[in-house]
Structure 1
Amino acid sequence: MGALICAHDWKTSPLGPPATWPAPLRTTVSLMLSSAFPMFVAWGDELGFLYNDAYIEILGDKHPHALGQAFHAVWSEIWSDIDPLVRKAMAGEATYMEDLFLRMQRNGFEENVWFTFSYSPVRHEDGSVGGMFCACTETTARVQAEEDLRRKEAELRDLNTTLEQQVQERTAQLQISQYIVQSSADPICAFDTDYRLIAFNRAHRDEFYRIFAYRVQIGDIFPDLFPSDQSSVMRGFMTRALTGEVYTVTEEFGDPNLAKPCWEVSYSPLRDSAGCIIGAFHYAKDISARLRADVELASTQDALRQAQKMEAVGQLTGGLAHDFNNLLAGISGSLELMQTRMQQGRLTDVDRYMTVAQGAAKRAAALTHRLLAFSRRQTLDPKPTDVNRLATGMHDLIQRTVGPGILVEVVGATNCWPALVDPPQLESALLNLCINARDAMPDGGTITIETANKWMDERAVRQHDLPEGQYLSLSVTDTGTGMPPEVIPRVFEPFFTTKPFGEGTGLGLSMIYGFAQQSGGQVRIYSEVGQGTTVRIYLPRHYGAVEDETAVEGISDLPRSEQGETVLVVDDEPTVRMLITEILEDLGYAAIEAGDSATGLKVLQSDVRIDLLVTDVGLPGGMNGRQMADAARARRPDLKVLFITGYAENAILGNGTLPMGMGVLTKPFAMDNMAARIRSMIEGSKEQAHHA
């Protein structure tokens, strides 16, 4: 019948094409077609007629012409008998008839027949009646046999009377619930307001036995059949359905020693003809296999993403190796030429080669810092910073970098708050954003660099994932191509890039994101295709003054030590110790060297004069530089400490909040910067002692 319905020409039927049928009709027809019990549905003003395979025998030679016809035309010869029952059903009243006598025309002749059936209203989603549903069985043979036996056996007549009375006590809705339950291929049952089972199908009994090793029976208190830890959950679900709620949940049920699959369970109330709740349906679907497939799919997707990242890492490392080899060639080549020229006595060329080597070394250091920023493992040296002044000071550099076809504007906020940030890293982030903006404007445009004071209230911090408070924002806006919505959430992912293959590694925005978060801030991006992009960095406001910038003094400009000050240098790299010792000797200090923390701590715990400790953070010897310094301060509480580091020891160094008398300098460092820091820390110690 399903095939006939699909192939039928519905143009002349009052039902119209199946695609236009309302959901309640489609649902009822689906249940009817999957049932082995004779059923039909009559729908609409003319009660268009639909039936299942089991009903064909009842129709006889009226099949298949009856499909889609008006109900009264199909059964015109018995219409006067069933018309009152049809009217009741269409008025919303369910009826049940047992062994109803009819004089029926079928198979070419009239015959006496008896039927047991129920007419039940089928409602639209708004509650109005759209048609009627009938589950029926022809009882002609049984009735005729009973009439013969009734004349012979009074006891059998009494038994039939008792059975008839019992059946009449059931409501039409409970009868329909039985049909619905039995016609489902998935586990389904119905329970009454006392949680007792009143109907279940074979699939339900089989599945319950599989996961609990128990065969359910009519009258069982359903939630009590579950283990104690699941019984209360099940009772709660059933209670919700008995209050009239229609819903679906996903939950694991079963004995873990047998099976505990994951189920998608749907509930809907069961009502009588008056609309009162007399129970509920429990429909379960085992979704364990689907969930396992989802997990496998997610695993496959993760593996694909990992493969893509590894490919990007390969591209990145290849590019880095190329860049570092170029830089090392410049450094080593310059040093070799310096040595050759010095041997030749041609000292006039030495300065030129020295400049080349120093430039290559600075570019190598900058490349290393970019990598550490990308990994969010760089060592920051935050200082109170006037971001307005920083952005204005970079205007000429940015303009030269992006080229004459792009206009660069700097709009500084009035009374702009200072921020506590690492200035060189912020400069690098700003330049990187402007280069990205340039790449998004191949035909030229405008880059606007803007600062603003921002107060983040409770609503704003939820949107920006920041603590409540005051922030300084630095924005870079372009008038370029913009980005589609599906791209924006991924722009901060490592290795993600919208540039063509070979033109980008996807590190830029990830490095900026890592730098902003390390600085206690955040980054947000706003973009629209064809309208441009804005990237905004939020930095916590610094409550304090910003010192004026001063030029760094050279080693020859610094005052020499004349009082025998002694500096302990602890580093496991001999070259670093040698360079720092050279600086100390140029400044007139005495230097003591140690290659590990154990040796350094032994010196610090002795009576040797130590005016300053210069130490790497990552050290061999059982403790790091910070631990060694803290242990030394137990004996020397006023000890000045300058940490030198080339890696991400931010947690060890207190994330920019070192105690008084401690400082940090990032490797690689310029020698004059190192000399100035050593001198300033020792002189600061003297000044503090003088005031004390």
Structure 2
Amino acid sequence: MSATPAMPPESCLFAGQSGETVDLIRRFDWAATALGPLAQWPDVLISSTRLMLSSPTPIVLLCGSRGVLIYNDAYAAFAGQRHPQIFGLPAEEAWPEIAEWNRHVLAMGLSGRSMCQENLHLQLHRPGLQEDAWMNLYYNPLLDSAGHSHGMMCIVVETTNQIVAIEQRTQAEAELRSANERIELALNAGAVLGTWVWDIPNDRVTGDERFARAFCAEPQEAASGMALDRVTTAIHPQDRPLVRAMIERTIADGGSYRAEYRVLQADGGYRWIEANGRCELAPDGTPLRFPGVLIDIDERKRTELALRQLTQTLEERVSEAIRQRTQAEEQLRQAQKMEAIGQLTGGIAHDFNNLLAGILGSLELIQRKLPASENPQLGRFIDAAIASANRGASLTHRLLAFARRQSLDMRAVEVNGLVRAIEELLVRTLGEQIRLDIHLADDLWPTRSDGHQLENALINLAINARDAMPNGGTLRIETRNTQLDEAGAQHYQVPAGDYLLLSVSDTGCGMSEAIIRHVFEPFFTTKPIGQGTGLGLPMVYGFVKQTGGYLHLESQVGRGTTLNLYLPRLIAAPADLPHSAPRDAPRGTGERILVVEDDRVVRMLIVEVLEELGYQLLQASDAQSALGLLEQHAPLDLLLTDVGLPGMNGRQLADAARQRQPGLKVLFATGYAEGAEMRDGYLGEGMEMIAKPFSFEGLAGMLKAMLGS
């Protein structure tokens, strides 16, 4: 028996063969695998490996019971970036995503059976290559001379590109069928504007007569052929770049083409069309023909545009409505807050005015009955108390002004004259470091207001401006006529119409947005404690609103502040403007006056002073008692009554008294009363009003004017 020939050395096993995988086989540590060293490999495995390495087709061997992978250079390219990590690994570890398939293949090979699978779809994670792969796989077992299988040989023919090309062609054919269907529908509907064919290699576009009309070309020119650039010049300049890009993409890829754009018409206008076509390619991919059809979509596009504009307009209207509603809600919240504060401050001022009337009246009586020469030290204390009480009265007047509850003496006012009258006072108030700059309109309209309160408002604004310019600056006062339209009137919640503007501007420190939101709230001040009451601007705000105008504030930090007082125009002749001069307050001559006051202290003081002045007095604490006295002691010369009486109020009492004594003169005294803010709306003929707390000199002067004595 002859001996088995010895295996050649490992270095000679694959002599004459070269390549990356040949080097891998030679260097690989096969002893660490289930196959063992190369010297122990069976002949069938060695011969199969030599055959595989010499083939240009991707081939892989699944060797042994584990299916260890040995493959050639062509298969290495098929494996992508997984090579060379998978070389020498069991198939299940090398391709875990298809482990089940490889187990089936190995089982078939070890059992000695061949198999074939065409266009098998596998998802292979091959970095750098398409994951969806299609391939034809041909498997043969590795059988030795005894018929024993040592694994499976797999020949791989990847068909991915062919399958993808077929799918693309199928999709293109479907798109073509869809385009043909659209063309057929368009032809049936009579919406076709024309057809064309573009000979791409010769750049000649030919079209029918309707195509020529669509692109403002001569029919003969379209029939004989035009360059593409000649056709595209009729496309709207805004649409032209997109159309060119779509044509270039269609030529590069082949397949269908669809574009919507505007073309110039003979009348100078533009018409919307839809162009549908297809680029036909030669077998080598060269673009050859580009036939197509034009469809009229002008009406549809204009309808879409109108709908889009309507939608946009609707969105803008909704946004504007939301903005207006938000603004109205904010104004309502502010108005409710100011109204609530106004009611509170008005009520406090009413009670406080009655208290001050008693205090001031008592102090004045003491002062009258105690000559200063007898006790000068006591006289100074009385003067100080009166001054403090007057400051309290000023505070309540400001509260009432903010609350729009003060009693206003509404008359025709010539604002330019008012500004000139207090110019010297303003100069002294501002000091030497601040320049007063006054610009008054020559034709300024008159307004209807309380001149005294308007002066106070202007002085308050000047003081605020002075405090905002500690290092000096300019205070500018300007007047001019202006008009407020419906939109502006709605924003400021005043009637539209003519207004005169009184503007006060400074070059001071200005205010931030956070401060502006609170400046018209009472007791809000940015001044140090003890240097501001926080009632200056609220008083001005309330006064202007009460007179039917509005106040607008503009301010920037470091740039100064401007307050614009808009006062309603009064249509009045110059003769309507007031001309009054202060009068002295004389004593009475025995006139009979009925005093009605529910505050016992105030009533006592009024009676004491008026009797001292020479009047005959009757007194009552309520309306019913007063009417009884009127019945008993008629006729009277004058009724002096508080407005806010319990039960029947002062105006109701006056009306009832005049039914008993027509023409009876009535003087109302008020600390604050609902409905009595506008005197001419509350007072009738022969009626006047005096605000609490009042001085007895002021009361005596009012009585003199009314009684004519």
With normalisation by structure 2, the TM-score equals 0.49
Give, in whole Å, the separation in 1 of the partners of 2:382 and 2:421: 28
1:590-615 CA distance string (max 9 Å, x none): 11100112212323355621121111
Q: Among 662, 672, 688, which residue is 1:663 paired with?
A: 688
Q: How many matched pairs? A: 421
> Is 1:623 the counterpart of 2:686 in the alignment?
no
Please show how residues 245-644 of structure 1 align to structure 2 within 5 Å: 346-349=374-377, 351-456=379-484, 458=486, 461-462=489-490, 464-483=492-511, 488=516, 491-494=519-522, 506-542=534-570, 543-544=572-573, 545-554=576-585, 558=586, 560-561=588-589, 564-606=590-632, 608-620=634-646, 622-644=647-669
Letter in 2 for 1:524: H
Q: Deviations over 1:313-362 (max 9, x none)?
A: 99x9xxx9xx99xx99x9899999979x9699834455544433332222
Secondary structure class of the residue paired with 1:681: helix
> Is the contact made by 1:385 and 1:419 (CA closer than 8 Å) also made in structure 2?
yes
Contact 1:92–1:129 under 8 Å retained in 2: no
Cα distance in 2, alignment partners of residues 443 and 652 from structure 1: 40
How far residue 87 of structure 1 moved from its aligned partner, in angstroms, is 4.4
Going from structure 1 to structure 2, the CA distance change for 1:335 and 1:483 (only over 3 Å counts) comes to closer
C-alpha contact 1:372 1:648 (8 A) present in aligned 2: no
Contact 1:338 1:349 in 2 (8 A): no
CA contact (8 A) 1:597 1:625 kept: yes
Report % sequence identity: 41
Instruction: Return the offset for 1:523.
Output: 0.8
Shift of 1:537: 1.2
Contact 2:361-2:605 within 8 A present in 1 as well: no
Tell me which residue corresponds to 1:646.
671
State the shift of 1:573 in Å: 1.4
Q: Does 1:80 align with 2:165?
A: yes
Distance in structure 1 (CA, Å) of the matches to 2:372 and 2:682? 52
- Mapping of residues 114-153 of structure 1, within 5 Å: none
- The answer for unaligned runs of 5 or more in structure 2 is 1-120, 134-157, 181-241, 250-303, 313-325
State the Cα distance separating 1:507 from its structure 2 match.
3.8
Structure 2 equivalent of residue 60 of structure 1? 123
Per-residue displacement from partner, 1:489-528 (whole Å, max 9, x unpaired)?
Answer: 6543556556678876654322211111111111112334
Structure with the greater alpha carbon radius of gyration: 2
User: What corresponds to 2:288 in structure 1?
Assistant: none
- Map of 1:160 onto structure 2: none
Q: CA 1:458/1:375 → structure 2, altered by over 3 Å: closer, same or farther?
A: closer
Structure 1 position 405, deviation (Å):
1.5
SS of the equivalent of 2:123 reads helix
Give, in whole Å, the separation in 2 of the partners of 1:351 and 1:500.
Answer: 33
Cα deviation, residue 457, structure 1: 5.0
Displacement of 1:559:
5.5
Q: Does 1:679 align with 2:707?
A: no
Deviation sequence 1:637-665 (CA, Å, 0-9, x none): 31211111112433586674522111111
Contact 1:440/1:481 (8 A) holds in 2:
yes
Deviation at 1:580, TM superposition (A): 2.2
Q: 1:570 to 1:530 in 2, by over 3 A?
A: same
Q: For 1:80, give the aligned amino acid.
A: A
Decide whether the 8 Å contact of 1:452 with 1:474 is kept in 2.
yes
State whether residues 91 and 129 of structure 1, in contact with CA within 8 Å, keep that contact through their aligned partners in structure 2.
no
Contact conserved, 2:124 with 2:132, CA < 8 A, in 1? no
Match of 1:233 in 2: none
C-alpha change, 1:550 and 1:487, in structure 2 (3 Å) is same
Instruction: Using the TM superposition, give the Cα deviation of residue 479 of structure 1 relative to its aligned residue in structure 2, in angstroms.
Output: 1.5
Task: Give the secondary-structure state (helix, strand or coil) at the position aligned to 2:640.
Answer: strand
- Stretches of structure 1 lacking an aligned partner (at least 5 in a row): 1-57, 96-125, 132-239, 249-294, 685-692
Q: Secondary structure at the match of 1:553?
A: coil
Query: Once the 2 structures are TM-superposed, how far is the Cα of residue 488 of structure 1 from its aligned partner?
Result: 4.7
Q: Could you state the TM-score of these two structures normalised by the residue count of structure 1?
A: 0.50
* 2:616 partner amino acid: A
Q: Secondary structure at the match of 1:634?
A: helix
